[in-house]
Amino acid sequence: MVLAQVLALGGRALVLEVWALGLEELAMVLEEWAMVLEEWAMVLEEWELVLEECAVVLGVWAIMMEVWPLVLEVWVMGLEEWAMVPEGWRCRHWCWRCRHWWWRCGH
Q: What residues pair up with 100 in beta bridges, in sequence order?
A: 95
pTM of the model: 0.46
3-state DSSP assignment of residue 34:
helix
pLDDT in tens, the chain (107 residues): 555 665 566 677 777 888 888 999 999 999 999 999 999 999 999 999 999 999 999 999 999 999 999 999 999 998 888 777 666 566 666 777 777 666 555 55
- Per-residue buried b or exposed e for 19-57, using 16+ beta carbons within 10 Å of the residue's own CB: eeeeeeeeeeeeeeeeeeeeeeeeeeeeeeeeeeeeeee
